[in-house]
Amino acid sequence: MILEIVQYGNPVLRERCKRVEQVDESIRILAADMLETMYDANGVGLAAPQVGVAIRLAVVDVAHDPECISFLKVNGEDAPLASIMPLTFINPELEFTGPKERDTEGCLSIHDVRAEVSRPSSLKATLPQLDGSVLVIETDGLLARAIQHETDHLNGVLFTDRVSPATKISLRRKLRRLVEEG
């Protein structure tokens, strides 16, 4: 089922989400609906607060661009990108391993706003799965960026919080308009 994507200004986007302590059928259904919603909106990631649910659950799929990463290790072994896509995870833990890189980001919850964001270029992510297993992913590129972006959502942080001060000033009017249009 396609869910409504919460838009900028909604307080749920600023909440630090609760840990998922137990995966039940409602969590599995929510995750499947989030994937369907993300695909329908042509996104590469979606976090539960973006559909109004303040829990630490997110989905990512960058399989449309297998060249978007230069390496991928899953649980210490080299792996093809397709082997983990789409990626659904709860309660992520991130360790940043690369120098910061700037790239353009957007967000399904902030329509028509894109900006340069500086983030670590690579990471090691411990990503518990819905089936109780845990993936430890080491990667870079768009996958690393998407995991960071979605994890930020779980902490109540938006990509617009991570832009340069000059960019924040230039975005202020657009963001104010989005809140007013609500």
Question: What mean pLDDT is reported for the chain?
Answer: 96
Phi, psi of 130 (to 5 degrees): -65, -25
pLDDT at position 180 = 86
Choosing from 93, 150, 180, 181, the catalytic residue is 150
Q: What order do you get walking across the sheet with 77-78 strand by strand?
A: 77-78, 72-74, 134-140, 122-128, 93-96
Reply yes or no on whether the pLDDT at 179 is more than 90. no
CATH number of the domain located at residue range(s) 11-181 in this protein: 3.90.45.10
Q: What is the average pLDDT across 170-177?
A: 91
Pair 145, 135: CB distance under 8 Å: no
Q: What residue ranges do the domains of the chain occupy?
A: 11-181
Binding region: 107, 149, 153
Binding region for Fe cation: 107, 149, 153
Among this protein's residues, is 181 annotated catalytic? Answer: no
pTM of the entire predicted model: 0.97
Tens-digit pLDDT profile for residues 74-133: 999 999 999 999 999 999 999 999 899 999 999 999 988 999 999 999 999 999 999 999
The Cα–Cα gap between 171 and 163 comes to: 10
